[in-house]
Structure formats: structure tokens, C-alpha cells
Chain A
């Protein structure tokens, strides 16, 4: 019989477990403390639990932390971790140090269903959702976990296509009984699945990033099939009804493609559709992937695009490319090769 994992359970779930096992109620808090605040590798190391309580737990559960299978290091300090998921599929996680800011980019699915034209992850198809435990494990099981300052849900998969587990992982990251991180240090990135977006905004305080990539319907449809059913104008309409710009931020990701979405027409239209939304735009250089018909805009074009958007009052920055030499940069995560072995 496969034993269930304790790691990834919320306090409420843990309370149900200890009740079922007829352990004292306070044991739930002790266990979450061991799971999310201390560094142990086995239930037996939960030394403030009675020996009999540990035996009862061991009979049905394992701790559930998973070490990485492989680590690659970039010349710029970025590291890419390979983890094995519970379904024997692989996922990748990026650790991106930058002065005092240490960001982990977590995956939420093995592969992705969304089929964006510019993304490597989509080329491996979809192999499954990650559990909350597998999402949190990507932070908790890297060498640098104690120095992590920020988390971005921008790895493999579409977070809002696995919303229940993403929300649960956010609860673990931000609760006092969990990793106790501020939700203001966490950003969830989505292509914009409107019903799930509404639920995310209602149930979480984390920042939101939306993959925009073109302000024009016909272009965005070519790049991102999701535009067929959840068009960006509907996503923006929903965002307008929320209070962004103070405690909680919304940003728009914009990969720059040569001669496709980098013209004056695009600047004008972006200013038009984002008018009235307190937001920022992150411009991202495109990292070419195999069989792609797309090229990156030049550095000069990206810089000019940024300046013109800033001049129109939209705070615009250029995201530094990190970890490109180890395929850890934006849009390059893929575990297709590992799964073919």
C-alpha cells in the first residue's frame, strides 16, 4: 500500500488526520511546524511527538519531501532543479538569485495543455497536475530554501488550470503555520482563464501576472489558443473590477517578437486597452525554441518599446534573461527528454 504524504497538507487537513488517528488535537500544529519550519527527513525526527504518535503516523504516512534528481548551474548564478513527481514524471524549478532577492520559479503541472506557440513546455503535451505538496516541495527542497525571498508561479504548466492545488500551496506558503511568507512576495502568472481567475482573486492575496503578448485579438489567437475561449478583453474587464496598484499588483508579461508585436501600433493599442488599470508591463526577450517561426525583437527595439510605453504612463520594465545557458529562462522549461528515457 502506498502511504500518503504529510508534506503538502494544510493545518485543517492535518487536524482531520490527527482526529482520524485519535491523536491529541495539538499534534496537528506540531506536525505542520516540523513540516514547514524545520528541516527533517523522517517522521521519527518529530521529537516532540510521543513515540506512539510517531509509530501511528508512520503506519499510514510518509514525510513526503522529495530531493531533487539533478541540479544545473548557470554562469549567471541561476540554478535549475529537476524533481520527480509522484506520478513518476519530471518537473523543473528555477532558482534565480539577484542581490538580496532570491526568487524561485515553481511549476504547477507536468507539461501544459495551453499550446502557446512560443513555449517549450507546451511541446511536451500534458502529463498531469502537481499536488500542493509537489509545488511547495520545489521551494522547500532546494539547497537555498532558507534564503528564498520571492516565489513566482511561472514554471511549467498553467497555474489556473490546477487552481485547487495552487490555492492550497499558496495557503501553505503564506500561513503562520506554514512557511509564513507574505503574499506580497508571491506572483501567480496566468494566460487568463477567466472563471479560475475570479476564484484566484477572491481566495488569494498574491500578486497577479497575466501573459498578454499582443493587444490584438487575431494576433493573440495565433500565439495563444486560449484567446479563442477566454479573450483578453474579458480578462481585463475582470481585472478592472479589482483594486490593484496598492498592496496587490497586477503586471502584464509581454514577450517581444520581431515584426509581430513590437510596432508603434502595438504601443498605441496597449496604452488603449490598459488605460485605467494600475499595472506594469514586463517586456521579455524571446528565447527561441526548436521549430518556431518566431524571432526575438532586437535589444534596441525592446528598449525603445519600453521608453514609449513609459512615456504613455505605463510603468514598463525589461526582464533580465536569466539561466538561458541551462534552458532555465522564460519559456524554455521542458522535461520531454527525461520522460522519453
Chain B
């Protein structure tokens, strides 16, 4: 996923800081789909994601005057979103139910989807929708920090350096968390493939 142009963001931020509400609206419109994806893949629940996303923008709106531009707006808003979601998940604990299992119809045209389902692979052997469901469950078995790294790297397509800035950890830590999370997911999915009913 491409990183948005920072100069365009800077102009919008400057206007929002000067009290232009329409400029902040533009930032909301621009970043809500991206942040929705990130939060959803950390919470796996639509209602929680919606509430959280509203809270993230409300907090950003209150804090925008204090934003000094030491990082890009992209990093700043993602940091707010990740920190708030991590806090929320810690409070929520294990009380959750998965939602939003419906996959967008455009997946049929996705290159990776075609590749996964046409070539010989363990994915092809299993029902893809069931596999996706299992994947979501496996994601929820990861710790919040590992899930955040997986969501940002694999799903949002962020580079390691950006993730390290957002989480405030070193790139080495990001790579290490990613490696561990991949092993965990691999084990959960292999377990499912060997024992599909369980």
C-alpha cells in the first residue's frame, strides 16, 4: 500500500491547525479506509472497529494543534490508532466475537487470489473461505503486539522502518515479532489442515 504524499498532508494539517474543519474532514476521508483495515485486523470485529476509528479521529482532532510535524501525519495518526487499539484490546481481553467474514467480491479479480486458488498448494486443497475463517481465528490467538505487526506488514503493506516508528521499537524487534508471528500462524493453519474438523 502506497504511503500518501506527505506534502499534501502537511498542507491539510496546517489548515486544520488554523481552524479549518474542512481540511480535517479531508484527512478523515483520506485515512479512514486505511485505518479501518488496520484496526479491523487487530480487533476482528466491525462494531469495535467503527467505535475505535471514531475515537481515533476524535483524539486526533483534539490533538492536531499540538502536532509539531516531527513525524509525518501518516505515522502520527497510525501511532494514535495502534496505541488506542492496543489499549482497547488489553481492556477487552479475550471477550470478542469475529465479524465481517464477508469478503469483498473484487477478490475474484485479485492476482494473488487467482494464483493461490489455481496453482497446486495447500490453500487449493482447503476451502478458501474456511481457511480465511481459520486464519482470522489464528490471528486472534496471537498476542496484541504480534497481531499489530502482522496487520501492518502483511495486510497494510508497511515497510519495517515505518512499523518501527509507529510502534516505537527497533526494526530488529519488528522483524523478530514478525518471524515469531509467522511461525505461530503456520502452526495453527497446519493444525487445521491436518485436522479440519477441529
Do A and B truly interact? Answer: no
